[in-house]
Amino acid sequence: MTAIKALDSTEQPTGYHLPPLPYPFDALEPFLDSETMWFHHDGHHQAYVDQLNKVIAPYPQLHNLTIEDLLRRLDEVPEDIRLAVRDQGGGHANHQFLWKVIGSPRNTQPQGRLLEALNDEFGSLTLFQEQFTKLALKHLGSGWVFLVINPENNKLEIMALANNDSVLLHKRVGLLICDVWEHAYYLKYQNRHAEYLKAFWNIVDWEVVSARLDNFYAGKQQL
Ligand SMILES: [Fe+2]
């Protein structure tokens, strides 16, 4: 891995930006309401991007890295901001990942290689969903639950990470992500955690999740 280089005088630092939500705020109704989605995307996600930009502002050599590279190369980030970059950058990366794998409820199903892998690893889609939900229920508070593939053995794993930790820091490739921070559901579900997690399965876009596994096997980079 090459060292992070300072930009030369002709390069303009870009920093990080909030990508627009890839669907309208009310697209996930009735499972997630537009107010929750607006606060979540325009409020919480924007705040992570703003904080990240603030933290890296004195270090122009970090301004042109993709968020994936910034997290993968965290050990090269100056020590005084490393923790903040892990937290704010992880928040940005995890939310960006989340918006991609959820979408309007249209009853998609895992396909092809993903369906086979879920059956091989967990027994069935239903058994996988039960295990994932069980772990998510234990982990509610501030954190995320993921379906990942481990590139060392090509096996699927369910992984729970606290705060804004990213699977990129654990050498895994994320296929699916669920936000279990209270801000993800509290306006609609309050303390009815199980109801939120049950509703979550209705907005998972399994076509995207299946494509992510195919992309992994095709060697394509993806957040
Ligand atoms: Fe969130």
For residue 147, tell me if it sits in a domain: yes
Q: Kindly list the distances between the CA atom of residue 131 and the CA atoms of 97, 101, 138, 147, 175, in Å, as whole numbers in the listed order.
A: 21, 19, 11, 11, 16
Distance 108 CA to ligand 1 centre (A): 23
For residue 20, tell me if it sits in a domain: no
| pLDDT confidence bin for 2, thresholds 50/70/90 | very low
The amino acid at residue 18 is L
pLDDT at 220: 85
Distance 116 CA to ligand 1 centre (A): 30
**Count of helix runs (H) and strand runs (E) in the chain:** 9, 3
pLDDT at 206: 98
The amino acid at residue 80 is D
pTM over 0.85: yes
Inform me whether the pLDDT recorded for 8 exceeds 60.
no
Q: How far apart are CA 208 and CA 177, in angstroms?
A: 12
pLDDT tens profile 11-32: 554 789 999 999 999 999 999 9
pLDDT at 139: 86
- The vertex-79 CA angle with 43 and 50, nearest 5°, equals 15
Q: What CATH number did the domain enclosing 54 receive?
A: 3.55.40.20
Arithmetic mean of pLDDT, 57-66: 92
Domain count, the chain: 1
Distance 32 CA to ligand 1 centre (A): 13
Inform me whether the pLDDT recorded for 3 exceeds 80.
no
Percent of the chain predicted with pLDDT > 90: 87
Distance 170 CA to ligand 1 centre (A): 20
Structural contact between residues 95 and 47, judged by C-beta atoms closer than 8 angstroms: no
Inform me whether the pLDDT recorded for 10 exceeds 60.
no
pLDDT at 222: 72
| pLDDT confidence bin for 141, thresholds 50/70/90 | confident
Q: How far apart are CA 215 and CA 175, in angstroms?
A: 10
Q: How far apart are CA 195 and CA 46, in angstroms?
A: 27
For residue 18, tell me if it sits in a domain: no
Inform me whether the pLDDT recorded for 90 exceeds 70.
yes
Distance 6 CA to ligand 1 centre (A): 32
For residue 16, tell me if it sits in a domain: no
pLDDT at 205: 98
Q: 122 lies in which domain range? A: 31-223
Q: Taking the CA atoms of 70, 76, 82 and 86 in sequence, report the sign of the dihedral they define.
A: positive
For residue 222, tell me if it sits in a domain: yes
pLDDT tens profile 120-138: 999 999 999 999 999 999 9
Tokens of 18: 């909030």
Inform me whether the pLDDT recorded for 172 exceeds 60.
yes
For residue 13, tell me if it sits in a domain: no
For residue 21, tell me if it sits in a domain: no
pLDDT at 13: 46
For residue 26, tell me if it sits in a domain: no
Inform me whether the pLDDT recorded for 9 exceeds 60.
no
Query: What mean pLDDT is reported for the chain?
Result: 93
